[in-house]
Structure 1
Amino acid sequence: MTPQANSRRLTILAVGAALALAGCGPSTDGDAKPNGSSSANPSIAPDVPAGYDPCTDIPQSVLDSENLRSKDKEDSNASGGVRWRGCAWIQTDGYAPVIRTTNLTVDMVRDKKFADAREYTINGRHAISTRQVDEHPEAVCTINVEMNGGSLEFFLSNPSSRKATGNLDTCELARKLAEKVVPTIPSNA
């Protein structure tokens, strides 16, 4: 298996782990089931935010500036109506991001009380970074940036074995990438 395929496999496994940690439990019909519910949890939008498709709307110049290659579609659904729509990339011998719109809001992510939660603003939009994978908290970081009806989610996998970025803080890498992408979201999205 090539290093690029190994990194992609790790990213997919990490995404699965994050989904499980995000409150989805076992299933009897093939779909993950939410673990419990929160009365403070607002109702979820029926679909991901409209007006921005990370697979087509992130400018090539932004992808090139981060040496992101090998785009793959990364859509998924969980029961309870949670949806993700977007794409994954790989940086040769560096981090691997999955950037997707989701109907999970920043408030919903905050309410999960994930480890190392940090809130800030990116290009005028509220954002939260969290470490949702307990097995490798230093190697995986998720940032959700506010959009109408949900958020734009940046999920970065950055194993320490990656020569180009493995020694760098994954949440800082995710934030720098988000700071390049978020200004490309239309103001009404």
Structure 2
Amino acid sequence: MTSRSKSWRFGALALGAVFVIAGCGPSDGDPKPTNSSDRTPTPSIATDVPSGYNPCADIPQSVLDSEGLRGKDKDDSTASGGVKWRGCAWIQTDGYSPVIRTTNLTVDMVREKKFTDTREYTINNRRAISTRQVTEHPDAVCTVNVEMKGGSLEFFLSNPPSNRKTGGTDTCELARKLAEKVVPTMPANV
């Protein structure tokens, strides 16, 4: 199986995580009336992804070359609840495959889902969070979301252990290092 097909396979698995993020959970039966004072405020999702940074066009070639990333493919998607992603996917020969997209999911929204191995930190003065959202392959897939106005820049990395270059390296560490190279290229006002 090629790195690209592995990437798409893990991407399909991530789609399952998308529905978790979008809030598609089981219902407990009949709807019950709620008192507005009983409700916990939930952040509203922006109608579109943040503007001002397009990962398909704005990531400098020097950054992509430093990671050996090539084969750029458009990778946009929309999920229920108005969740959107806009960006591109790349491959690294015998290494990890990243998808870098803007999304209207915020760092706070990702934190609220309490995914496995959640870690928060700062990249270039922006809040960031890494999570393992694909329960079937927690070590091979990691997502890092970096704060933007109205959402985040999301780094979704697929890194199966069979990859000769990077398979033995922690996927969340790879995602964080990639984010640390890309995020400084973003304008400060986005």
Tell me whether the two structures share a fold, i.e. TM-score over 0.5.
yes
Amino acid at match of 1:22: I
Question: Is the 1:115–1:130 Cα contact (8 Å) retained in structure 2?
Answer: yes
The answer on whether the counterparts of 1:41 and 1:111 sit within 8 Å (CA) in structure 2 is no
Is 1:143 the equivalent of 2:138? no
Structure 2 residue matching 1:186: 3-state secondary structure? coil
Larger radius of gyration: 2
Q: Tell me the distance in 1 between the aligned counterparts of 2:84 and 2:92.
A: 25
1:24 deviates by: 5.1
Aligned residues: 179
Residue type matched to 1:154 in 2?
F
Code of the aligned partner of 2:150: G
AA of the residue aligned to 1:13: A
Aligned-residue sequence identity (percent) comes to: 68
Q: Secondary structure at the match of 2:95?
A: coil
- Partner of residue 10, structure 1: 9
Which amino acid is 1:67 matched to?
G
TM-score (norm 1): 0.89
**Could you tell me which amino acid in structure 1 is paired with residue 77 of structure 2?**
S
Matches of 2:11 and 2:99, distance apart in 1? 9
Give the residue type in structure 2 aligned to 1:79. Answer: S
| TM-score normalised by L of structure 2 | 0.89
Counting only pairs closer than 5 Å after superposition, residues 125-136 of structure 1 correspond to structure 2 as 125-136=126-137
Residue of structure 1 in register with 2:36 after alignment: none
1:57-76 deviations in whole A, cap 9, x for unaligned?
Answer: 00000000000011011100
State the 1:19 CA deviation.
1.4
Within 1, Cα distance between the matches of 2:49 and 2:22? 18
Please say if residues 63 and 182 of structure 2, whose CA atoms lie closer than 8 Å, have aligned partners that are also in contact. yes
SS at match of 2:143: strand
2:33 maps to none
Provide the rounded CA distance (Å) in 2 between the counterparts of 1:118 and 1:86. Answer: 23
Q: Which runs of 5+ in 2 are unaligned?
A: 28-38
Which letter maps to 1:12? G
Structure 1: any 5+ residue segments left out of the alignment?
Answer: 26-33
Aligned alpha-carbon RMSD (Å):
1.6
Q: Spell out the pairing of 1:15-164 with structure 2 (5 A cutoff).
A: 15-23=14-22, 25=24, 39-164=40-165
The runs of at least 4 consecutive aligned structure 1 residues that moved more than 6 Å come to: none
2: distance between equivalents of 1:149 and 1:15?
22
